[in-house]
């Protein structure tokens, strides 16, 4: 059920729909295969900032209107049309893209899921990888086609690919520019799983509901701990994660650990591994 009691962020190049705690955030340039322009990037920055404090958003799903997720950066509007600009203005436009595509999206407070419903090319790999989890249609088409245009996967596309794909796979598709489908993307670990197109939205909705059943404070702390620890040595990671645990317990309004232990030891009503503890709050 959509909640229309408050105004929706976005509205032109980015559409937002709410459904029982899920914010469906959609690239809205279907006539351009949802290629990302400077105007779209500015609007997406505003959308993410608005949704992070909107109680209607307990899980964010990023997808595209029509038959594409996103064809990457708009070659005309993001490259040709701005190449004549003074360097400071050019950097502002680049910074606007990076701010939402990886900096904000990676650290978004609520869980995020990429729903790859069609074409996913070049620059679109960055927000795809920046989402916590991802589900693709089996027939979705992926490609790192920059080499065919006489350029390389820039921005942070190469870094995003390196974070998810093994070296042999990453170099193969970066150097050949060949495409691959959702099944192959799942096999390589670029996405979590691929499902038939007619099941895509239902599977993403199911995953989002599972994520929303968890303690939100701990869910955010868990993903932040992982993203930081993966670049640390073991000793540094141990110190950081222990500090993150203490920080999360202090911030947790629903006292999840105490509730879980009480329900397991005292009430005998909670069995770890068979679901989540009974939450008395949606804080």
Place of tokens 């436009």: 93
The tens digit of pLDDT for each residue in 85-117 reads 777 777 777 888 889 999 999 999 999 999 999
Are residues 153 and 191 located together in one domain of the fold?
Answer: yes
Torsion of CA 57, 59, 64, 66, to 10 degrees: -80
Euclidean distance between the first and final Cα of the chain, in Å? 21
Are residues 115 and 220 located together in one domain of the fold?
Answer: no
Q: How far apart are CA 220 and CA 111, in angstroms?
A: 7
The tens digit of pLDDT for each residue in 144-185 reads 999 988 888 887 899 999 999 999 999 999 999 999 999 999
Cβ-based neighbour number of residue 10 at 10 Å:
19
In a domain, 193, yes or no: yes
Are residues 107 and 29 located together in one domain of the fold?
Answer: yes
The token duo for 223 is: 């993903």
The CATH number of residue 119's host domain is 3.90.226.10
Q: How far apart are CA 109 and CA 160, in angstroms?
A: 20
Using 50 as the pLDDT threshold, list the residues of the chain that sit under it. Answer: 1, 4, 282-283
In a domain, 2, yes or no: no
252 is in which domain, residue-wise?
216-266
């Amino acid at each position: 059920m959509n909640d229309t009691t408050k105004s929706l962020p976005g509205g032109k190049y980015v559409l937002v729909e709410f459904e029982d705690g899920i914010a469906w955030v959609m690239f809205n340039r279907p006539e351009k295969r949802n290629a990302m322009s400077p105007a779209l990037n500015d609007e997406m920055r505003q959308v993410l900032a608005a949704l992070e404090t909107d109680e209607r958003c307990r899980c964010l799903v990023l997808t595209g209107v029509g038959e594409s997720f996103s064809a990457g950066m708009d070659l005309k509007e993001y490259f040709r049309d701005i190449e004549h600009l003074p360097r400071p203005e050019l950097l502002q436009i680049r910074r606007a893209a990076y701010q939402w595509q990886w900096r904000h999206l990676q650290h978004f407070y609520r869980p995020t899921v990429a729903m790859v419903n069609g074409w996913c090319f070049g620059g679109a790999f960055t927000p795809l990888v920046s989402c916590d989890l991802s589900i693709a249609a089996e027939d979705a088409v992926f490609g790192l086609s920059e080499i065919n245009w006489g350029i390389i996967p820039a921005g942070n596309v190469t870094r995003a690919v390196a974070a998810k794909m093994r070296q042999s796979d990453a170099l193969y598709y970066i150097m050949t520019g060949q495409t691959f489908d959702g099944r192959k993307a799942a096999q390589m670990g670029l996405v979590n799983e691929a499902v038939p197109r007619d099941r895509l939205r239902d599977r993403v909705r199911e995953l989002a509901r599972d994520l929303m059943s968890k303690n939100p404070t701990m869910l955010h702390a868990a993903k932040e701990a992982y993203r930081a620890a993966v670049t640390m040595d073991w000793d540094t990671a141990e110190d950081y994660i222990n500090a993150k645990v203490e920080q999360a317990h202090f911030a947790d309004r629903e006292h999840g650990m105490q509730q879980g232990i009480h329900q397991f030891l005292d009430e005998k009503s909670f069995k770890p591994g068979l679901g989540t503890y009974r939450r008395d709050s949606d804080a």
